[in-house]
Amino acid sequence: MMKKASFNSKLKLSLPPPESLTKFLTESGTFQVGDLLVNKDGVRIVSESETEVPPPIKPSDNQLSLEDMDVIKVVGKGNGGVVQLVQHKWTSQFFALKVIQMNIEEQARTALAQELKINQSSQCPYVVVCYQSFYKNGVISIVLEYMDGGSLLDFLKKVKTIPEPYLAAICKQVLKGLAYLHREKHIIHRDLKPSNLLINHRGEVKITDFGVSRILTSTFGQANTFVGTYNYMSPERISGGKYDSKSDIWSLGVVLLECATGQFPYSPPEEEGWTNFYELMVAVVDQPPPCAPSDQFSPQFCSFISACVQKDPKVRQSALKLLEHPFVNMYDDLDVDLSSYFTDVGSPLASL
């Protein structure tokens, strides 16, 4: 009945090969005096034409410097860049370093700096911590909390499907993260998908890459060089209308349904699969919303998915309201252990 979308609904950002980014990173010792320095105390933009050299970052400032990081390995590659596992030389602490190649105008840089500042001020156990960001010579480097289980996408590739009790425990954490972003930070994620939900050996699930997609889209969107994935995008966003935080709830519904069934919930019209991403976009806007098969899943799960994928965003429930949905707590008595569920499949940390 349901088929995996067999096309890549992404347009690629033209980038130098990731190897050259890695080389640049390891060879460069000057990141700490980049054009743009963002840390938890504020944002500073220093244009290259400025004669005043910004003061060096001292360890006593409690700031991270990229030259103090040893690159351990590349842990992931996305549309816009590469993610490395790095280790701080003095504290031995692990971080994830996201490196994005992007030559941007001053104006976009300021917007990005503001966005990253919001990210850095986020304090929520369900949101990936962003420690510091740097911009130098068209390369943005973001120091993030390292999540040793990788993404839900990586995990789903191994397990194929996630049983309901685990899904409820995952869903609860994502809803708490979304409620925090929506209500306290007034951020719409805009790109909620399995690869932006990260997991670790403690059984924690955290949201990452919030807000960044807005900058990427607004910077590159008009030039048509960057377009994110459309698979999880709400009908109102696809239609180009106004959208709000409820857009993320649609994405959550599609993500959970895919995790439960192991398949992306929109089937292509023909046997050969989707021929282009417009077909999928039309399907999301025109077709009735997807639903969980009632013969395979609990009525609570089916009802939860329907609450998320209402086509009218006004009818769709908020993250806070969904936290009260019967599905979210229905397996609480089982004492679901996400920690061993995530670790038994084999975390990338085990292969270090």
Nearest to 115 by CA among 153, 142, 95, 96: 142
Strand partners, 43: 38
Report the residue number, 196 or 347, with the smaller CB distance to Mg ion.
196
Using DSSP's 3-state secondary structure scheme, residue 31 falls into helix
CA atoms of 109 and 310, how far apart (whole Å): 36
Token output for 228: 């994110």
Least distance from ligand ATP to the Cβ atom of residue 349, Å: 10
Q: Which residue has the tokens 């935080």?
A: 245
Catalytic residue among 35, 148, 154, 191: 191
- Interacting positions 191-220 with Mg ion (CB under 5 A): 196, 209
* Residue 111 contact partner, candidates Mg ion, ligand ATP, none, CB within 5 to 8 A by sort of partner: none
Secondary structure element (H or E) that encloses residue 94, with its range: strand 94-101
Question: Segment near Mg ion (CB under 5 A), from 108-116, 189-197, 289-297, 331-339?
Answer: 189-197
318: exposed, middle or buried (Cβ count in 10 Å: 0-12, 13-18, 19+): middle
Least distance from ligand ATP to the Cβ atom of residue 2, Å: 22
Least distance from Mg ion to the Cβ atom of residue 195, Å: 5
**Per this entry, what is the length of the chain?**
352
Q: Pattern of binders to ligand ATP over 47-76, x per CB under 6 A?
A: ----------------------------xx
Note whether 291 binds ligand ATP by CB under 6 A.
no
Token output for 130: 């962003």
Q: Does the annotation count 191 as an active-site position?
A: yes
Residues in contact with ligand ATP by the rule CB under 6 A:
75-81, 83, 96, 98, 128, 144-147, 150-151, 153-154, 195-196, 198, 208-209, 229
User: Which are the catalytic amino acids?
Assistant: 191
